[in-house]
């Protein structure tokens, strides 16, 4: 039996075309329908000469992920897709329809996350498994097919779902290469954003490879001790190193980096915290995005900063000359808002698989 080939493995698909002996323009047409128009595999196959449709379909795996569930928010324009990998893990992808009519997609980079930030539900899962580039890209295609029914398209892709993208660097770069490729998705780099817990070397590697791609840093505090309390990995990647990396990023990219700042009442939201943040950011090309905290069951005692305090915090930064925006998370009622993505069943599955591997 000849082995099967992923539609996301371009080189293998090219070889299969040569083997089945059909014209390159037919494959280009198939790719346009599948990767740019998101009309699905049946419509894509219809672009092939009739005699190779069946043999091609038998050899190609179109979707490494299966849609297990799709939930629409009753509050706002969010849809959460729960997708299952062939290994049986469930991951989440969130479609966000904003008030302006633009659609953004929040893609997961891992099953769980090793960063284990105390405020984030994904970090509490106790699992961290890398997704393959095919699994990363299939999230974009499945969401694209979902939006096709509404005759809308995903405009922005943000790697802000479950996981730490830079703990899965190789697959992320492979996926981004495909997202940018003219013959595949052909997304403009400015519409793609990677959000990281803050791994300086990886941020620089990413910027060198994809200079026009947007980067976001989850800073959450400009005080080393506070940051370590929130983000265990902060001890390994200290603030001084991050600041040096941000300065270097500017040399490479010449475009602002997004600084994400989670607002936690009594933890990192005082006016003194704001002043420290402004001082730390001085001279850097950044845009500050303040994130209201979405509570999660694991840490019921943490609260978000109330609006008056949040506005006062933003004012300190604006007076210091920074552009500040407030993030409005969508999908709180379907557990799709920032920090709420979790599939606890994955923990059990990981344990079972580890035991059977012994
Ligand atoms: N690992 C990446 C992507 C994580 S999710 C990173 O750390 O950036 C994207 C953003 O949501 C991060 O800034 C993260 O800190 C934030 N976040 C996590 N839990 C949250 C919560 N409960 N409420 C609001 N934002 C949260």
For ligand 1, atom 3, name the residue with the nearest CA: 160
Could you tell me the two tokens for 225?
């001790």
Largest CA distance in the chain: 71
Calculate how far, in angstroms, residue 16's C-alpha sits from the geometric centre of ligand 1: 41
Mean pLDDT split into 10-residue runs, the chain, 358 residues:
91 98 98 98 98 98 96 93 95 93 96 93 88 98 95 95 97 98 98 98 98 98 98 98 98 97 97 98 98 86 94 98 93 88 82 81
Could you tell me the two tokens for 26?
């037919």
Q: Considering only CA atoms, which of 163, 153, 159 is closest in space to residue 186? A: 153
User: Could you read off the pLDDT of 195-246 as tens digits, one per residue?
Assistant: 999 999 999 999 999 999 999 999 999 999 999 999 999 999 999 999 999 9
Torsion angle (degrees, nearest 10) of CA 151, 34, 341, 168: -150
User: For residue 276, what are the contacts with CB-CB under 8 A and spacing of at least 6?
Assistant: 222, 223
Phi, psi of 105 (to 5 degrees): -120, 130
Calculate how far, in angstroms, residue 120's C-alpha sits from the geometric centre of ligand 1: 6
SS (H, E, C) the chain: CCCCEECCCHHHHHHHHHHHCCCHHHHHHHHHHHHHCCCCHHHHHCCCCHHHHHHHHHHEECCCCEEEEEEECCCCCEEEEEEECCCCCEEEEEEEECCCCCEEEECCCEEECCCCCCCCCHHHCCCEEECCHHHHHHHHHHHHHHHHCCCCCCCEEEECCCCCHHHCHHHHHHHHHHHHCCCCCCCCHHHEEEEECCCHHHHHHHHHHCCCCEEEEECCCCCHHHHHHHCHHHHCCCHHHHHHHHHHHHHHHCCCEEEEEEEECCCCCCHHHHHHHHHHHCCCCEEEEEEECCCCCCCCCCCECCHHHHHHHHHHHHHCCCEEEECCCCCHHHCCCCCCCCCCHHHHHHHHHHHHHC
**Cβ–ligand 1 contact at 105 (below 6 Å):** no
Give the C-alpha separation, 261 to 293, whole Å: 10
For ligand 1, atom 9, name the residue with the nearest CA: 160
Could you tell me the two tokens for 4?
């099967």
Query: Apex CA 153: angle with CA 105 and CA 7, to 5°?
Result: 75
Calculate how far, in angstroms, residue 23's C-alpha sits from the geometric centre of ligand 1: 46
pLDDT of residue 73: 93
**Cβ–ligand 1 contact at 92 (below 6 Å):** no
For ligand 1, atom 22, name the residue with the nearest CA: 339
Could you tell me the two tokens for 20?
């089945």
- % residues pLDDT > 90 (the chain): 84
The answer to whether the predicted template modeling score (pTM) of the entire model surpasses 0.85 is yes
**Cβ–ligand 1 contact at 218 (below 6 Å):** yes
User: Could you read off the pLDDT of 152-201 as tens digits, one per residue?
Assistant: 999 999 999 999 999 999 999 999 999 999 999 999 999 999 999 999 99
For ligand 1, atom 18, name the residue with the nearest CA: 339
**Cβ–ligand 1 contact at 119 (below 6 Å):** yes
CA atoms within 13 A on the CB side of 242: 26
**Cβ–ligand 1 contact at 168 (below 6 Å):** no
Give the C-alpha separation, 199 to 35, whole Å: 31
For ligand 1, atom 4, name the residue with the nearest CA: 160
Calculate how far, in angstroms, residue 182's C-alpha sits from the geometric centre of ligand 1: 31
Provide the pairing of β-strand 78-84 with 66-72.
antiparallel
Catalytic residue among 113, 117, 120, 338: 338
- % residues pLDDT > 70 (the chain): 100
Instruction: Give the orientation angle of helix 133-148 with respect to helix 169-180, to 10 degrees.
Output: 40
**Cβ–ligand 1 contact at 294 (below 6 Å):** yes
**Cβ–ligand 1 contact at 215 (below 6 Å):** no
**Cβ–ligand 1 contact at 268 (below 6 Å):** no
Catalytic residue among 92, 135, 164, 260: 92
Give the C-alpha separation, 86 to 320, whole Å: 50
Q: Considering only CA atoms, which of 152, 132, 33, 151 is closest in space to residue 87? A: 132
Active site residue 338: yes
Length of the chain: 358
For ligand 1, atom 13, name the residue with the nearest CA: 218
């Amino acid at each position: 039996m000849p082995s099967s080939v992923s539609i996301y493995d371009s080189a293998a698909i090219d070889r299969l075309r040569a083997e089945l002996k059909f014209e390159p323009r037919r494959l280009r047409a198939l790719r346009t329908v599948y990767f740019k128009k998101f009309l699905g595999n049946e419509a894509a196959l219809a672009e092939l000469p009739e005699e190779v449709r069946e043999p091609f379909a038998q050899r190609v795996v179109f979707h490494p992920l299966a849609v297990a569930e799709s939930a629409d928010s009753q509050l706002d324009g969010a849809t959460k897709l729960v997708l299952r990998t062939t290994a049986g893990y469930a991951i989440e992808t969130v479609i966000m329809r904003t008030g302006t009519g633009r659609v953004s997609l929040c893609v997961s980079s891992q099953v769980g996350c090793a960063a284990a930030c105390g405020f984030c539900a994904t970090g509490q899962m106790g699992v961290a498994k890398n997704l393959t580039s095919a699994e990363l890209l299939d999230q974009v295609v499945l969401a694209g097919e979902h939006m096709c029914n509404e005759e809308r398209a995903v405009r922005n892709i943000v790697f802000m779902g479950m996981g730490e993208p830079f703990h899965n660097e190789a697959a992320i770069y492979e996926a981004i290469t495909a997202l940018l490729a003219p013959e595949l998705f052909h997304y403009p780099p400015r519409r793609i954003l990677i959000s990281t817990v803050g791994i300086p070397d990886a941020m620089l590697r990413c910027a060198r490879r994809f200079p026009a791609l947007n980067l976001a840093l989850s800073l959450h505090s400009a005080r080393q001790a506070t940051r370590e309390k929130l983000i265990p990995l902060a001890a390994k990647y200290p603030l001084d190193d991050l600041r040096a990396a941000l300065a270097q990023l500017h040399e490479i990219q010449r475009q602002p980096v997004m600084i994400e700042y989670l607002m936690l009442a009594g933890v990192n939201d005082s006016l003194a915290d704001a002043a420290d943040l402004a001082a730390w950011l001085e001279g850097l090309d950044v845009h500050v995005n303040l994130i209201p905290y979405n509570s999660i069951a694991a840490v019921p005692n943490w609260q978000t900063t109330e609006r008056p305090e949040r506005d006062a915090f933003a004012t300190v930064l604006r007076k210091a000359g920074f552009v500040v925006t407030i993030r409005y998370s969508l999908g709180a009622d379907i557990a799709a808002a920032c920090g709420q993505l979790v599939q606890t069943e994955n923990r059990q599955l990981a344990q079972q698989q580890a035991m059977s591997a012994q």
